[in-house]
Amino acid sequence: MPSKSQDKSFTILGIETSCDETAAAVMRGHAPGPGEILSNIVASQAGAHAPYGGVVPEIASRAHLEILDGVIERALDEAKITARDIDGVAATAGPGLIGGVMVGLTTAKGVALGLGKPLIAVNHLMGHALTARLTEGTAFPFLLLLVSGGHCQLLGVGGLNDFRLYGSTIDDAVGEAFDKVAKLLGLAYPGGPEVEKLAAKGNPRAFDLPRPLVSGHNVRRNADFSFSGLKTAVRLLVERQPVKVEDVCASFQAAVIAILTDRTQTAMRMFEKDFPQSAARHLVVAGGVAANRAIAAALSGLCARENYRLAVPPPALCTDNAAMIAWAGLEKLAADGGDGLGTSPRARWPLASLV
């Protein structure tokens, strides 16, 4: 039975430190949204990690520790409220780099304890999943394609604690594949946006790259992904012959798009079986890779053919941010109340385990 507080408006401070962004935000509203973002501060660490071609956990944790208090102060100032005006403190409790998660969650515990406010421990992936409710008020159920540097999953979302896994990557996440291909080509970090930029100038048919697990070559009965073979094919291509970087990027991105659309179409059939009475069918695309315009355009075409409505948050809300954590915390607080101060950080926390 829904909580009586679900129609009440809450003001939530959100904290996100699961990877290499130190973020804090203040959110106001009530489920199912849309919500009002009063502030959304993100301090990127990309420059600190660029020399290493990827995120260094120790550097990320130390940076979170050094700047998080200041980021929280900026979020409260920009929202034009004081800490006493909030109804709860939401923080990413996992999954993510455990050192960073510990910094954010411990800070949130201190703020909650000092103010006598509820702590809400948020699954980082739930934050991405619920962003379409924050921005558009998208109703449950919906099909979710979660694509980021660390995750690639398709899930049916029936509610706050109803995530049904239809497929996930059996090797690399799609964002990870973009970054690894960028590194092979000598592009700047983070590599995903660089590959997308160059792909727009190249020929997507220049190289016939593999599309693992697509229909006709997939013995699995689910919507799993695989990108490792595609990445290896790019490496071999680059090692064997001189290539035009723009054409490699375009061909790689075209292969990724083919995989994502094929796997999503398979998941649509699974979603329709699970939720046959759904009046409106929605595909929500979340995570950093959702900011890729070519991928969004291809998924828009798929939705038009399959009679789904596509929801893709604005680019700033696709990448890691605290507004999505604040919103997920708001929905959790309204439905289930807060969490204990003894809540532990988690390096792994599958969405499908939320029951």
- In the chain, the percentage of residues whose pLDDT exceeds 90 is 79
- pLDDT(4) > 70: no
In this structure, the answer to whether residues 104 and 28 fall within a common structural domain is yes
Q: Do residue 161 and residue 274 come from a single domain?
A: yes
The strand ranges marked E within 60-185 are: 88-94, 119-123, 142-147, 152-159, 162-168
If asked whether residues 329 and 290 sit together in one domain, one would say no
C-alpha to C-alpha distance for 342 and 339, rounded to whole angstroms: 8
Which pTM value belongs to this model?
0.90
Residues 205 and 308 in one domain: yes
Confidence band of 1 (pLDDT split at 50, 70, 90): very low
Give 72 or 220, the one with higher predicted confidence.
Answer: 72
Of 250, 322, 258, 257, which Cα lies nearest the Cα of 290? 257
Domain identity same for 160 and 196: yes
Rounded average pLDDT over 83-110: 96
Domain that holds residue 206: 141-313
> Is 6's pLDDT higher than 70?
no
**Are residues 296 and 180 part of one domain?**
yes
In terms of domains, do 234 and 282 share one? yes
Nearest one of 162, 106, 105, 110 to 335, comparing CA atoms: 162
Closest CA to 249 of 286, 290, 294: 294
CA 116/CA 68 separation, integer angstroms: 20
What integer is the mean pLDDT of 124-140? Answer: 95
What is the count of structural domains for the chain?
Answer: 2
Same domain, yes or no, for 234 and 114? no
Q: Is the pLDDT of residue 18 over 70?
A: yes
Residues 196-254 have pLDDT tens digits of 999 999 999 999 999 988 865 555 678 999 999 999 999 999 999 899 999 999 999 99
Q: Are 165 and 293 part of one and the same domain? A: yes
Q: Which domain CATH number covers 72?
A: 3.30.420.40
Residues 239 and 325 grouped into a single domain: no
With CA atoms as reference, report the closest residue to 94 among 335, 351, 290, 292: 351
pLDDT score of 316 more than 70: yes
177 and 306 inside one domain? yes
Whether residues 162 and 254 share a domain: the answer is: yes
